[in-house]
C-alpha cells in the first residue's frame, strides 16, 4: 500500500476466491475501498468475531467505521436488494449513510431486467450461461446500447425514464413470447429501494477517488467475479457482462493506469466454477465431491453446487498476465489437508496437441497434471508461516515458481484472523 496510489484485489479465476475476506482484512491499511464492477451477482463472505455477513453490492471495507466506501460507475445496482443489504448492516450497528458513496453513473437494474435475464436464459436452451438471475447481462446490455437508467436519474425526471425503459423491456418480452411473469410486488419493493437510496450520497465518485489520491490517500479496488468471467478475457460466452480485470478498475472507477501500485490476484489452492461453461480441470469423481464438501463449495448468492477441480496453472498464468498481478493471494489451502497427493494442471491437451497458453476456446481440452505430495496436517489453526508443514511450503513455492509471481498472503480458514502475510 502506497499513499496516493490504487491497489486492486482481483479474483483471477471464476469468482468466489475469498475476495470479501481479504478486502475486509486489508481495509485498515487503506483510506477508501471501492467496488468497480458487477452488482448483486457477487456474494462476498466476511466472518469475524463469530459473525458472518454476505455482501453483494456494498464494498467489504464497510466494517471499518472510519473508511469511505464507494460503489463505482462500473457497477450495476438493484435498489431493492441494496436496501435489504444495507438495512441488515444498519441493524447490526453499522452506520452507512455518511460513508457509502454511490456513483451517479452506475446503472440501475430494473425488475424487468431480471425478467429479461430469465427470458434470455430460457431462449438459450441447452447453452444456458447459468446466470445468477440478477439481471446483470440485460443491464449492461442497456448500458452499451445507450438506453440504460442510471443512479443519477433518480434525481432527475426519474418516473418518465423508468416507465420508458420498462415499456421497452415489456415489448422485448412480448416479442420473445415470455409473458408469464408478475413483478407487481417486486416493483413496489424496488420503488421503496429507490426512495431509500436517496439518503446516500449519489455522487461523482470518480472525483472523490481522485481527490483522495491527490491528498495522498490510498485506495483499494475490490474486484467482483473473476478474470475468467470477464466479458473480454473470460470463457465467452460463459461469462458475466462486466470488465472484472484490472482494466475494469480504470473504467469502473475513473482512475488512470499510472495510479496503480499493487495488483493482488486472489485464487484458491484448487479450482471452482459456478454456472455453465468450459472447465477443463473439473472433477466428476469422489475427489470433486470431497473438495466441495470440505470447502463448503455452495454458492453464496444462489446456493448452487460449485463445480470443483484441481488448481489450473494455465488459467492462473493467463489471468496474471492480463491483470498485471504483482502479488498472489492463496486461499483455502486447509481444504486440501487430507489428500495424500495433490494435482496441479500445467497444460491442456486435445487431439494430440498440448498447450500451456490459454486457448481461444477452452471447450474439450483435457488437463495435463503434475502430482505433488499432500501435507496431511491441519492448517486452519496456524497463524505463522514458519509453522506450515514442509509439503505446504513446497506447494506454495511450486506455484510461485510456475507463475513467476510471489504468493504474498495465505489464508487457512474463513476467519479474518486466519490470514498470513509472508
Ligand atoms: P468472494 O466472492 O471472492 O468474496 O468469495 P465467497 O465469499 O463467495 O466464497 C469464499 C468462501 O470461502 C466463503 O464461504 C469464505 O468464508 C470461505 N473462505 C475464505 N477463506 C477461506 C480459507 O482460507 N479457508 C476456508 N476453509 N474457507 C475460506
Ligand atoms: P463473486 O464476486 C462466481 C457467474 C454465474 C454465471 C456467470 C454469469 O462472488 O466472486 P451473471 O449473473 O453475472 O450474468 O452470471 O457468472 N458469476 C459468478 N460466479 N462468483 C461470482 O461473484 C459470480 N458472479 C457471476 O454463476 O456462470
Ligand atoms: Mg462469491
Is the pLDDT score of 348 beyond 80? yes
Tell me, what's the pLDDT at 300? 66
Query: Does the beta carbon of 44 sit less than 6 angstroms from any atom of ligand 1?
Result: yes
- The Cα–Cα gap between 93 and 308 comes to 37
Task: Using the structure block, give the residue that is written with the C-alpha cell 460463459.
Answer: 238
- The Cα–Cα gap between 23 and 5 comes to 16
pLDDT digits 0-9 by tens, 220-232? 999 999 999 999 9
Measured over all CA atoms, what is the biggest interatomic distance in the chain, rounded to whole angstroms?
65
- Calculate how far, in angstroms, residue 87's C-alpha sits from the geometric centre of ligand 2: 24
Q: Which residue puts its alpha carbon closest to atom 10 of ligand 1?
A: 18
Tell me the pTM: 0.97
**18 close to 332: Cβ distance less than 8 angstroms:** yes
Query: Does the beta carbon of 272 sit less than 6 angstroms from any atom of ligand 2?
Result: no
- Please enumerate in sequence order all residues whose Cβ is within 8 A of that of 98, keeping only pairs 6 or more positions apart, or say none: none
3-state secondary structure of 70: strand
pLDDT digits 0-9 by tens, 285-336? 999 999 999 999 997 677 789 999 999 999 999 999 999 999 999 999 999 9
Q: Which residue puts its alpha carbon closest to atom 6 of ligand 2?
A: 131
- The three cell numbers locating residue 71: 460503489
Angle at 248 between CA 58 and CA 25, to 5 degrees: 45
- Please enumerate in sequence order all residues whose Cβ is within 8 A of that of 300, keeping only pairs 6 or more positions apart, or say none: 16, 43, 44, 45, 54
Question: Within 13 Å, how many C-alpha atoms sit on residue 156's CB side?
Answer: 8
- The three cell numbers locating residue 96: 452507512
Tell me, what's the pLDDT at 98? 87
What are the two backbone dihedrals, phi and then psi, of residue 78, each rounded to the nearest 5 degrees? Answer: -105, 110
**Whose atoms come closest to the Cα of 336: which ligand?**
1
Tell me, what's the pLDDT at 242? 98
Tell me, what's the pLDDT at 76? 98
pLDDT digits 0-9 by tens, 351-398? 999 999 999 988 899 999 999 999 999 999 999 999 999 999 999 999
Query: Does the beta carbon of 47 sit less than 6 angstroms from any atom of ligand 1?
Result: yes
- Please enumerate in sequence order all residues whose Cβ is within 8 A of that of 322, keeping only pairs 6 or more positions apart, or say none: 227, 230, 233, 245, 246
Tell me, what's the pLDDT at 304? 84
What is the percent of the chain with per-residue pLDDT over 70, rounded to a whole number? 99
Calculate helix-pair angle for 184-197, 111-123, nearest 10 degrees: 130
Question: Within 13 Å, how many C-alpha atoms sit on residue 160's CB side?
Answer: 3
Active-site residue numbers?
Answer: 16, 44
- The Cα–Cα gap between 420 and 382 comes to 9
Pairing mode, strands 353-355 and 341-350: antiparallel
What is the percent of the chain with per-residue pLDDT over 90, rounded to a whole number? 95
Query: Does the beta carbon of 134 sit less than 6 angstroms from any atom of ligand 1?
Result: no
Query: Does the beta carbon of 42 sit less than 6 angstroms from any atom of ligand 2?
Result: yes
Query: Does the beta carbon of 419 sit less than 6 angstroms from any atom of ligand 1?
Result: no
- Calculate how far, in angstroms, residue 267's C-alpha sits from the geometric centre of ligand 3: 12
| Concatenated DSSP letters of 171-199 | HHHHHTT------HHHHHHHHHHHHHHTT
Closest CA to 306 of 275, 278, 279: 275
- Calculate how far, in angstroms, residue 44's C-alpha sits from the geometric centre of ligand 3: 5
pLDDT digits 0-9 by tens, 109-160? 999 999 999 999 999 988 999 999 999 999 999 999 999 999 999 999 999 9
Mean pLDDT of 168-179: 97
From the CB of residue 400, how many other CB atoms can be counted at a distance below 10 Å? 16
Residues less than 5 Å from ion ligand 3, measured at CB: 16, 43, 300
- The three cell numbers locating residue 224: 467482483
**Whose atoms come closest to the Cα of 22: which ligand?**
1
| pLDDT confidence bin for 181, thresholds 50/70/90 | very high
3-state secondary structure of 379: coil
Mean pLDDT of 218-245: 98
DSSP state of 254: T
Mean pLDDT of 14-38: 97
Tell me, what's the pLDDT at 2? 78
Closest CA to 63 of 82, 48, 81: 48
- Please enumerate in sequence order all residues whose Cβ is within 8 A of that of 233, keeping only pairs 6 or more positions apart, or say none: 227, 245, 318, 319, 322
| pLDDT confidence bin for 4, thresholds 50/70/90 | very high
- Please enumerate in sequence order all residues whose Cβ is within 8 A of that of 129, keeping only pairs 6 or more positions apart, or say none: 121, 137, 237, 238, 239, 275, 276, 277
Amino acid at each position: 500500500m502506497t499513499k496516493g496510489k490504487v491497489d486492486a484485489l482481483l479474483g483471477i479465476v471464476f469468482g468466489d476466491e475469498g475476495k470479501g475476506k481479504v478486502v475486509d482484512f486489508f481495509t485498515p491499511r487503506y483510506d477508501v475501498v471501492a467496488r468497480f464492477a458487477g452488482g448483486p451477482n457477487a456474494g462476498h463472505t466476511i466472518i469475524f468475531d463469530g459473525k458472518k455477513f454476505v455482501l453483494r453490492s456494498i464494498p467489504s471495507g464497510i466494517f471499518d467505521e472510519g473508511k469511505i466506501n464507494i460503489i463505482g460507475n462500473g457497477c450495476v445496482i438493484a435498489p431493492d436488494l441494496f436496501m435489504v443489504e444495507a438495512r441488515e448492516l444498519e441493524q447490526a450497528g453499522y452506520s452507512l449513510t455518511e460513508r457509502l458513496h454511490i456513483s451517479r453513473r452506475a446503472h440501475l437494474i430494473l425488475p424487468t431486467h431480471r425478467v429479461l435475464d430469465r427470458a434470455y436464459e430460457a431462449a438459450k436452451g441447452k447453452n444456458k450461461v447459468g446466470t445468477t438471475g440478477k439481471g446483470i447481462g440485460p443491464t449492461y446490455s442497456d448500458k452499451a446500447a445507450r438506453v440504460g437508467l442510471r443512479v443519477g436519474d433518480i434525481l432527475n425526471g426519474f418516473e418518465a425514464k423508468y416507465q420508458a425503459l420498462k415499456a421497452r423491456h415489456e415489448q422485448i418480452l412480448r416479442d420473445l413470447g415470455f409473458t408469464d411473469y408478475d413483478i407487481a410486488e417486486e416493483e413496489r419493493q424496488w420503488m421503496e429501494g429507490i426512495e431509500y437510496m436517496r439518503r446516500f450520497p449519489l455522487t461523482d465518485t470518480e472525483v472523490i477517488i481522485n481527490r483522495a489520491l491527490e491528498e495522498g490517500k490510498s485506495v483499494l479496488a475490490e474486484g467482483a467475479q473473476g478474470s475468467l468471467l470477464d466479458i473480454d478475457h473470460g470463457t465467452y460466452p460463459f461469462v458475466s457482462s462486466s470488465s472484472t480485470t484490472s482494466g475494469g478498475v480504470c473504467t469502473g472507477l475513473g482512475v488512470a493506469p499510472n495510479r496503480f501500485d499493487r495488483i493482488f490476484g486472489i485464487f484458491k489452492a484448487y479450482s471452482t466454477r459456478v454456472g455453465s461453461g468450459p472447465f477443463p480441470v473439473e472433477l466428476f469423481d469422489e475427489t470433486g465431491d470431497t473438495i466441495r464438501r470440505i470447502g463448503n463449495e455452495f454458492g453464496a448468492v444462489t446456493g448452487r453446487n460449485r463445480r470443483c477441480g484441481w488448481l489450473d496453472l494455465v488459467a492462473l498464468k493467463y489471468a496474471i498476465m492480463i491483470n498485471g498481478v504483482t502479488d498472489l493471494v492463496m486461499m483455502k489451502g486447509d481444504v486440501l489437508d487430507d489428500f495424500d497427493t495433490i494435482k496441479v494442471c500445467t497444460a491442456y491437451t486435445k487431439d494430440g496437441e498440448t498447450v500451456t497458453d490459454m486457448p481461444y476456446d477452452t471447450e474439450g481440452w483435457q488437463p495435463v497434471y503434475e502430482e505433488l505430495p499432500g501435507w496431511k496436517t491441519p492448517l486452519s489453526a496456524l497463524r505463522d508461516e514458519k509453522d506450515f508443514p514442509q509439503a505446504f511450503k513446497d506447494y506454495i513455492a511450486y506455484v510461485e515458481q510456475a507463475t513467476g509471481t510471489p504468493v504474498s498472503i495465505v489464508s487457512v480458514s474463513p476467519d479474518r484472523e486466519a490470514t498470513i502475510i509472508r
